[in-house]
Amino acid sequence: MKLPNIKILNEKNKLLHKISNEVKFPLKEEDKKLINDMLLYLKMSQIEKYSEKYNLRPGMGLAFPQIGKLMRIFVICNEEEDGSFTNYTIINPKIKSESEELIYVGEGEGCLSVDRDVDGIVPRHARITLEYQDVNGNKQTIRAREDLAVAFQHEIDHLNGILFVDKIDKKNPYKNQELMREI
């Protein structure tokens, strides 16, 4: 596999704090290619042989703003328990419902745009229902839970100009931890 030429913006880039624009259909061919390149990049970053060869930090999701395009598109490449990968391409997402139960990632959330260790927890809903469009503009609905729900919420934040570090309480990074479940 050849590593796609993906340039991920660093957290200091002001573009990452801007709200992305709604996507119009049909998608341009260059945007479809970019989606496929981003998914391949994420998959390679999660396979040890490639992450070592290309010095990649493992990543599960990438949003278009992270590569400099203010479009409401993100992709997730989720490694399943059997070692296979499931790809998600989410365009113009809207959260339709979310659980009251809150969770947080025990080892802390990470982000390909944030190249440093960050202490603290990010409260996320344990389950969400998402309405979105696929690459052909068809309306879809997906229900996500646990890790996948966290990833979807993290990427939607990118589309709204929010980084996970913005959601950590600076004075009390573990605020209300006892009210949430660790995953």
pLDDT 10s digits, 114-152: 999 999 999 999 999 999 999 999 999 999 999 999 999
**The two three-digit tokens of residue 2, written as one number:** 């050849």
Q: How far is CA 68 from CA 16, 27, 53, in A?
A: 8, 17, 25
**What is the reported pTM?**
0.96
Tell me the average confidence (pLDDT) per consecutive run of 10 residues in the chain, 183 residues long: 95 98 97 98 97 96 98 97 96 98 95 94 97 98 97 98 96 95 96
Q: Whose CA is closest to 4, among 34, 31, 37, 30?
A: 37
- Listed in sequence order, the residues at least 6 apart from 86 whose beta carbon sits closer than 8 Å to its beta carbon are 77, 78, 80
- Using CA atoms, how far apart are residues 34 and 64, in angstroms rounded to an integer? 9
Domains and CATH numbers, the chain: 25-182 (3.90.45.10)
Q: What residues are labeled active site?
A: 155
- Using CA atoms, how far apart are residues 30 and 17, in angstroms rounded to an integer? 24
Computed on alpha carbons and rounded to an integer, the radius of gyration of the chain in Å comes to 16
